[in-house]
């Protein structure tokens, strides 16, 4: 099911006495209805489109803590009062929500893919607000339509490979194996880079699957600020192998103090600063095609820490990507 957004989704502080210099994101966001004729982005403009995926059916199937279906609303609320520092030709849009109903994950993922493909076709830069990490497969279905002649690379900031078998049913733990096997079946290379992986959170079969698929990964212990130069060099090498990049950020990659509101809390996760720098590098590359934030679970958040972190990552991505 698809539901367009409303003005009520964006509320925040208003500094009326400051005029245009006091503008905040909630005052600048334009609403899009993807069930109607979608206008193309005008020449000379850059338009970002936030698209929610209200779904945690994949988390439920993966025996995780449900609640991620409420994440798009929490991310919008956290972004609403951001100070607006974008150039006049940069537009922020809300494209509404795809909603998983009746536990029909396949249908929801197909709907998400169609909406992502539509946004790309019309010149928008999609920023998908998940949702469990089943968001990734639906998101990819849309990207696949837009990259038929391009080598797509996937960068996943995540404590987990999410390469579990989907023989019984797909879940939040299976999207990248689904993507891999779809790509291979179509004769495409599967270029997948996981940053922030935790050994204790991935069984031997998952490491064997990663080796078989020639997946690049960096353990969380190596993703440290003092190691930034090496990480940037590795990322440059990965970017050189692909034409376009899809970035997905699983909020459980971060340490619990920064991100308590997730399905699988991570006691020894990453610090946000290192992820921000790597995201900036990808945005500057000119190869970023689309991005999502997944696995935020507002039901377990503390003082909206996780929602605010996810929103702030989106802020920095928009700021850097808008310059390209």
In sequence order, the β-bridge partners of residue 180 are none
Mean pLDDT of 189-212: 98
pLDDT tens sequence across 231-288: 999 999 999 999 999 999 999 999 999 999 999 999 999 999 999 999 999 999 999 9
C-alpha distances in Å from residue 310, one per residue of 68, 75, 259, 278, 291: 13, 7, 9, 15, 12
Is residue 232 within 8 A of residue 282, CB to CB? The reply is no
Give 175's pLDDT tier (boundaries 50, 70, 90). Answer: very high
Rounded distance between C-alpha atoms, residue 250 and residue 235, angstroms: 18
Report whether the peptide linkage leading into residue 131 is cis, meaning its omega lies within 30 degrees of zero. Answer: yes
pLDDT at 149 over 90: no
Q: Which CATH architecture has domain 2-321?
A: 3-Layer(aba) Sandwich (3.40)
pLDDT at 148 over 90: no
Among 16-20, 23-27, 104-108, 248-252, name the one with the lowest average pLDDT: 16-20
C-alpha distances in Å from residue 102, one per residue of 99, 132, 157, 257, 269: 10, 16, 30, 34, 34
Domain boundaries in the chain? 2-321
pTM strictly above 0.75:
yes
Radius of gyration of the chain from its Cα atoms, rounded to whole angstroms:
18
Match 């995201």 to its residue by tokens.
279
């Amino acid at each position: 099911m698809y539901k367009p957004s409303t003005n009520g989704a964006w509320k925040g502080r208003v500094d009326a006495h400051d005029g245009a210099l006091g503008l905040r994101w909630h005052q600048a966001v334009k609403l899009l209805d993807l069930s109607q004729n979608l206008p193309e982005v005008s020449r000379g403009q850059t338009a970002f489109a936030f698209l929610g995926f209200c779904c945690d059916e994949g988390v439920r199937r993966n025996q995780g803590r449900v609640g991620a279906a409420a994440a798009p609303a929490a991310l919008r609320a956290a972004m609403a009062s951001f100070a607006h520092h974008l150039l006049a030709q940069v537009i922020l849009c809300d494209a509404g929500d795809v909603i998983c109903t009746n536990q029909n994950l396949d249908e929801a993922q197909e709907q998400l893919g169609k909406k992502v493909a539509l946004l790309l076709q019309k010149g928008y830069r999609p920023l998908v607000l998940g949702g469990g990490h089943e968001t990734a497969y639906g998101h990819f279905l849309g990207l696949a339509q837009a990259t038929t002649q391009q080598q797509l690379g996937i960068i996943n900031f995540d404590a987990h490979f999410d390469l579990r078998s989907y023989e019984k049913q797909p879940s939040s733990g299976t999207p990248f194996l689904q993507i891999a096997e779809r790509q291979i079946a179509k004769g495409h290379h599967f270029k997948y880079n996981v940053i922030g992986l935790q050994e204790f959170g991935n069984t031997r079969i998952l490491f064997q699957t990663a080796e078989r698929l020639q997946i690049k990964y960096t353990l969380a212990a190596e993703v440290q600020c003092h190691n930034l130069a090496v990480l940037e060099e590795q990322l440059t090498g990965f970017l050189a192998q692909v034409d376009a990049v899809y970035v997905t950020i699983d909020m459980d990659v971060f340490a619990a103090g920064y991100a308590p509101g997730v399905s699988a809390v991570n006691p020894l996760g990453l610090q946000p600063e290192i992820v921000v720098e790597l995201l900036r590098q990808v945005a500057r590359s000119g190869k970023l095609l689309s991005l999502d934030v997944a696995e935020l679970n507002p039901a377990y958040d503390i003082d909206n820490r996780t929602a605010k972190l996810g929103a702030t990552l989106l802020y920095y991505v928009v700021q850097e990507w808008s310059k390209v």
